[in-house]
Structure 1
Amino acid sequence: MKTTSKLITALTLSVLASSVLAAVSPEEANKLGTTLTPLGGEKAGNAEGTIPAWDGGLPVNAAPVTANGFLGEPFANEQPLYTITPQNLDQYKAKLSEGQLAMFKRYPETYKMVVYPSHRTAAVPDVINQAAKTSAVKTTLMEGGNGLKGFSESRYYAFPIPQNGLEVVWNHITRYRGGNVRRSIVQATPQTNGTYTLVNFEDEVAFPDSMSGLAADKAENALLFFKQRVTAPARLAGNVLLVHDSLDQVKDPRMAWIYNAGQRRVRRAPQVAYDGPGTASDGLRTSDNFDMYNGSPDRYDWKLVGKKELYIPYNNYHIGQPSVKYSDIVKAGHTNQDLARYELHRVWEVEATLKAGERNIYAKRRFFIDEDTWQIAVSEHYDGRGQLWRVGQAMLANHYKQQSPGYAFEALYDIISGRYLAIGMNNEEKNGYLFGFPATAADYTPAALRNAGVR
Structure 2
Amino acid sequence: MKITSVTRVPALRMLASLLLVLVGTNAWAGLTPEEAARLGKDLTPVGAERVGNADGSIPEWTGGLTSPPSGWKPEQGYIDPFPADKPQFVITAQNADQYKAKLTPGVLALLKKEPNFRMPVYQTRRTAAVPKEVTDLAKSQSPKVELQGFGMGNVNGSSIPFPIPKQGVEVVWNHLVRYLGGGFERTFNWFPVRGNGQFYTVGFYEKRVYDQYMDRQQDNRLFNFFGYFTEPATLVGTAYLVYDPVDQVKEARSAWMYNSGSRRVRRAPDLAYDNINDGTESMRVNDQYDGYNGAPDRYDWKLIGKQETYVPYNAYKLSDKSLKYADVVHKGTINPDLMRYELHRTWVVEGTLKSGQKHIYGKRTMYFDEDSWTLLYEDAYDTRGQLWRVGVHPLIQFYDAGVPWYRATIWHDLTNGNYLAAGLDNEVKQPWKFGVKGRMAEFEVNALRRAGH
TM-score (norm 2): 0.92
SS at 1:163's partner residue? coil
Change (3 A) 1:332 1:61: closer
Match of 1:289 in 2: 288
Q: Write the distance in 1 (CA, Å) between the matches of 2:349 and 2:63.
A: 26
Q: Does 1:194 align with 2:197?
A: yes
* Deviation at residue 447 of structure 1 after TM alignment: 2.3
SS at 1:235's partner residue? coil
CA contact (8 A) 2:29 2:147 kept: no
Match of 1:330 in 2: 329
CA contact (8 A) 1:175 1:374 kept: yes
Q: Write the distance in 2 (CA, Å) between the matches of 1:391 and 1:189.
A: 15
Match of 2:153 in 1: 149
Q: Write the distance in 2 (CA, Å) between the matches of 1:343 and 1:436.
A: 29
Change (3 A) 1:69 1:25: farther
SS at 1:368's partner residue? strand
| Residue range with higher mean Cα deviation, 93-102 or 276-285 | 276-285
* Deviation at residue 64 of structure 1 after TM alignment: 4.3
Partner residue of 2:183 out of 159, 180, 184: 180
1:56-84 Cα offsets, whole Å, 9 max, x none, are: 00131345432426122111111111111
* Deviation at residue 21 of structure 1 after TM alignment: 7.1
Q: Does 1:72 align with 2:76?
A: no
Q: Write the distance in 2 (CA, Å) between the matches of 1:101 and 1:192.
A: 19
SS at 1:92's partner residue? helix
Partner residue of 2:123 out of 113, 117, 121: 117
Q: Which amino acid aligns with 1:259?
A: Y
* Deviation at residue 137 of structure 1 after TM alignment: 1.1
Change (3 A) 1:140 1:64: farther
1:260-287 Cα offsets, whole Å, 9 max, x none, are: 0111110111111000111211111100
SS at 1:105's partner residue? helix
* Deviation at residue 129 of structure 1 after TM alignment: 0.9
* Deviation at residue 386 of structure 1 after TM alignment: 0.3
Q: Write the distance in 2 (CA, Å) between the matches of 1:67 and 1:300.
A: 40
In the TM superposition, structure 1's runs of 4+ consecutive aligned residues that sit over 2 Å from their partners are 61-69
Q: Write the distance in 1 (CA, Å) between the matches of 2:286 and 2:70.
A: 35
Q: Write the distance in 2 (CA, Å) between the matches of 1:21 and 1:275.
A: 28
CA contact (8 A) 1:180 1:206 kept: yes
Q: Write the distance in 1 (CA, Å) between the matches of 2:175 and 2:53.
A: 23
Match of 2:206 in 1: 203
Partner residue of 1:33 out of 28, 34, 40: 40
1:115-149 Cα offsets, whole Å, 9 max, x none, are: 0000000111110011221232111112x21x210
CA contact (8 A) 1:63 1:73 kept: no
CA contact (8 A) 1:64 1:72 kept: no
Change (3 A) 1:141 1:324: same
Q: Write the distance in 1 (CA, Å) between the matches of 2:318 and 2:349.
A: 28
CA contact (8 A) 2:76 2:321 kept: no
CA contact (8 A) 1:76 1:318 kept: no
| Residue range with higher mean Cα deviation, 373-382 or 329-338 | 329-338
1:379-398 Cα offsets, whole Å, 9 max, x none, are: 01000110000000111001
CA contact (8 A) 2:318 2:424 kept: no
> What is the RMSD computed on CA atoms of the aligned residues?
1.3
Q: Write the distance in 2 (CA, Å) between the matches of 1:163 and 1:63.
A: 41
Q: Write the distance in 1 (CA, Å) between the matches of 2:325 and 2:314.
A: 19
* Deviation at residue 306 of structure 1 after TM alignment: 0.3
Q: Write the distance in 1 (CA, Å) between the matches of 2:39 and 2:431.
A: 32
Q: Does 1:84 align with 2:83?
A: no
Match of 1:393 in 2: 392
Match of 2:138 in 1: 132
Q: Write the distance in 2 (CA, Å) between the matches of 1:268 and 1:125.
A: 37
Q: Write the distance in 2 (CA, Å) between the matches of 1:407 and 1:359.
A: 28
Give the unaligned 5+ runs of structure 1.
1-19
Alignment of 1:299-314 (within 5 A): 299-314=298-313
Alignment of 1:265-276 (within 5 A): 265-276=264-275
Identity %: 44
| Residue range with higher mean Cα deviation, 358-367 or 442-451 | 442-451
Match of 1:162 in 2: 165
Q: Write the distance in 1 (CA, Å) between the matches of 2:438 and 2:51.
A: 39
Q: Does 1:49 align with 2:56?
A: yes
CA contact (8 A) 1:258 1:267 kept: yes
Q: Write the distance in 1 (CA, Å) between the matches of 2:301 and 2:324.
A: 39
CA contact (8 A) 1:230 1:239 kept: yes
Q: Write the distance in 2 (CA, Å) between the matches of 1:21 and 1:358.
A: 24
SS at 2:204's partner residue? strand
